Amino acid sequence: MCRCHNICATRDENMLQKTKSLEKYLGLKNDIKWDTTLFFLLYHALAVYWCYHYAFPVKWQTLALAYFVYACNGIGIGAGVHRYWSHRAFKATKPMQLMLFVMYASAGLTTVRRFVRNHRVHHKCSDSDGDPHDARRGLFFSHMGWLMVKKNEETLRQGKTIDMKDLDNDPLIMFHERHMLLVNGTLCFVLPTLANIWFFGESWRCAVAWQCFIRYLTTMHAAFSVNSLAHKYGHKPYNRNIRPVENLFVVFATLGEGFHNYHHAFPFDFKGTDRLLTFNIATLTIKLCEKIGWAYDLKEASPEMVASMSQRMGDRFQLKEGLSDYSY
């Protein structure tokens, strides 16, 4: 009996060591949030099974609607929760705020307030112990692993220092904070799926595959790639001393949010870049809204400011090679 007990204890110890090694490899140093972790694992597994069986055949209208909602999600994240609510890079009228809110909520991520708090902490403590998705802890952690573990003490402490009064006094944002599951569930999953069924006569299984799995997960991972890929692979024409980079894959995946070295150098700029690439749907939306009076007081870095920082702190070789690639 004693020998069997020792063997079992040894096996348990070995399993624990292997688990700890995996957690270290993935950057999961903190306690794991098993509810979130299991949700990610099961949702992705279900997505593979469901899409393998039901994603095809598909009507072209279903594909078009999926991409349209995906583009709206990109605007809601890029122009809305990021440049407007997180950085206040411009001012918006109530109709524009409502439009951006609906577009963001239809992405099915977290509440506006939680996103903004995490993002403001990220900029205050970028790639340090206080950063919620510290890129130094590995690609997986900065991509989605940080959502699967509890925040460390420094991140919690820094989060308490962030001024959130602008959002706490906003009835729309606080309504979202109280009713996130209802709002996000309706706008992200229910309405887009029903639209496919009612307007295009798509089968409900195929509609679920394209809206609840393919479009939703593509949007989610595209948004996550800004924290992971855009902090690892790319060049640094504005500030070579920071981790964020310019990453073209992220630019196209997020429809314009991959110019991350510029963004961290000039976080207040409503454009998110000085390269007026047409594939920047958030910037185009803001400019269009400015023309109809919905957006105003747009903040941006002056050409002189950008040139000065690039010359002093940028990766001169990469800047020289990349100028023609990003300009009109």
Chain segment 253-303, per-residue pLDDT in tens: 999 999 999 999 999 999 999 876 557 999 999 999 999 999 999 999 999
Whose CA is closest to 136, among 255, 21, 227?
Answer: 227
Terminal Cα distance for the chain, rounded: 77
Q: Is 5 a member of any domain?
A: no
Q: How far apart are CA 94 and CA 78, in angstroms?
A: 18
CA-to-CA distance for 133 and 155, rounded, in angstroms? 10
In a domain, 3, yes or no: no
Answer whether residue 85 is part of any domain.
yes
Q: Percent of the chain at pLDDT above 90?
A: 83
Q: How many CA atoms lie within 13 A of 226 on its CB side?
A: 25
- Position 2 in a domain: no
Torsions phi, psi for 306 (to 5 deg): -65, -45
pLDDT of the residue at 321 = 40
**Among the residues of 76-152, which ranges form H helices?**
94-105, 112-124, 139-143
- Output the pLDDT for position 315: 85
**Does residue 10 form part of some domain?**
no
Structural domain contains residue 44: yes
The tokens for 161 are 């220092």
Q: Is the dihedral of CA 190, 284, 115, 135 positive or negative?
A: positive
Q: Report the pLDDT value the prediction gives residue 121, as an integer from 0 to 100.
A: 97
The residue whose two tokens read 């394209």 is 210
Task: Reduce the DSSP state of residue 26 to 3 states and report it.
Answer: coil
Residue 90 falls within a domain, yes or no?
Answer: yes
Structural domain boundaries enclosing 61: 28-326
- Whether residue 296 lies inside any domain: the answer is yes
Q: Which amino acid is at 55?
A: A
> pLDDT under 50 in the chain at which residues?
317-328
Q: Which residues contact 86 (CB under 8 A, 6 or more apart)?
A: 115, 116, 119, 120
Q: Residue 184 and residue 177: Cα distance in Å, rounded?
A: 11
Nearest alpha-carbon partner for 66 in 252, 248, 219: 219
Domain count, the chain: 1
103-125: per-residue pLDDT in tens? 999 999 999 999 999 999 999 99
80-83: list long-range contacts, CB under 8 Å, 24+ apart. 80/104, 80/112, 81/112, 81/115, 81/116, 81/119, 82/119, 82/257, 82/282, 83/270, 83/272, 83/282, 83/286
